[in-house]
């Protein structure tokens, strides 16, 4: 992700994304060596990816659905805007992959299967943040000033996210 422009109305949200992306990158680097670990450590790392999705990504996604995306659709033209259709569907894909990983962990899947599923989840999350930053947030930067974005979008987003943890 590029350096965050502090002058953009969405700068603080972009900073939050950067923090989550740091975690995605760290987990991805650890998954690279999953096949070298003991079976218990492999399953533990896969569970750590699931825990990251449950505790960080899912509450963030839920909050986006209720606050960020309606604002982005409004900023992109209002009723009938399809701007957020793809990013909303990315949430569904992460959920599906997480469910598959959970089943694989429960079945004691092979290291290759665990790596494949972990990388799929982490890759989807990383791509989602890039699409949000490069496609969705520019619409919000054009229609909101920082104070209004904070009040109407970020504050409700953070409150919604807190209730889902």
Mean pLDDT of the region 140-154 = 93
Confirm whether 4 is domain-assigned. Answer: no
Confirm whether 102 is domain-assigned. Answer: yes
Range of the structural domain that residue 90 is part of? 11-163
CA end-to-end distance (rounded Å), the chain: 26
Given a cut of 90, whether residue 155 has pLDDT beyond it is no
Residue 10: per-residue pLDDT? 95
Confidence of residue 79 (pLDDT cuts 50, 70, 90): confident
Confidence of residue 164 (pLDDT cuts 50, 70, 90): low
Given a cut of 60, whether residue 1 has pLDDT beyond it is no
Dihedral of the CA atoms 101, 123, 137, 81 (nearest 10)?
Answer: -60
Mean predicted lDDT score pLDDT of the chain: 92
What percent of the chain has pLDDT above 90? 85
Confirm whether 36 is domain-assigned. Answer: yes
Confirm whether 1 is domain-assigned. Answer: no
Residue 61: per-residue pLDDT? 94
Q: How far apart are CA 15 and CA 106, in angstroms?
A: 35
Our count of domains for the chain comes to: 1
Confidence of residue 5 (pLDDT cuts 50, 70, 90): low
Task: Express each pLDDT in 97-133 by its tens digit.
Answer: 999 999 999 999 999 999 999 999 999 999 999 999 9
Say if CB 83 and CB 72 are below 8 A apart: yes
Mean pLDDT of the region 89-99 = 97
Confirm whether 6 is domain-assigned. Answer: no
Confidence of residue 156 (pLDDT cuts 50, 70, 90): confident
Residue 158: per-residue pLDDT? 82
* Residue entry with tokens 């889902």: 164
Q: How far apart are CA 70 and CA 82, in angstroms?
A: 11
Residue 75: per-residue pLDDT? 95
Structure tokens at 115: 């790596």
Confidence of residue 161 (pLDDT cuts 50, 70, 90): confident
Residue 6: per-residue pLDDT? 63
Confirm whether 72 is domain-assigned. Answer: yes
Confirm whether 37 is domain-assigned. Answer: yes
Confirm whether 5 is domain-assigned. Answer: no
């Amino acid at each position: 992700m590029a350096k965050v422009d502090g002058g953009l109305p969405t700068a603080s949200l972009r900073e939050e994304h950067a923090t989550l992306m740091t975690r995605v990158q760290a987990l991805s680097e650890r998954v690279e060596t999953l096949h070298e670990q003991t079976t218990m450590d492999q399953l533990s790392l896969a569970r750590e990816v699931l825990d990251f999705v449950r505790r960080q990504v899912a509450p963030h996604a839920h909050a986006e659905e209720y606050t960020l995306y309606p604002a982005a659709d409004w900023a992109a033209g209002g009723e009938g805007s399809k701007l957020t259709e793809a990013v909303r569907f990315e949430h569904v894909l992460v959920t599906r992959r997480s469910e598959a990983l959970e089943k694989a962990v429960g079945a004691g899947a092979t290291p290759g299967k665990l790596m494949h599923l972990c990388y799929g989840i982490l890759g989807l999350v990383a791509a989602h943040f890039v699409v949000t930053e490069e496609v969705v947030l520019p619409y919000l930067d054009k229609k909101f000033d920082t104070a209004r974005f904070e009040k109407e979008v970020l504050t409700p987003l953070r409150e919604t996210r807190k209730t889902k943890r």
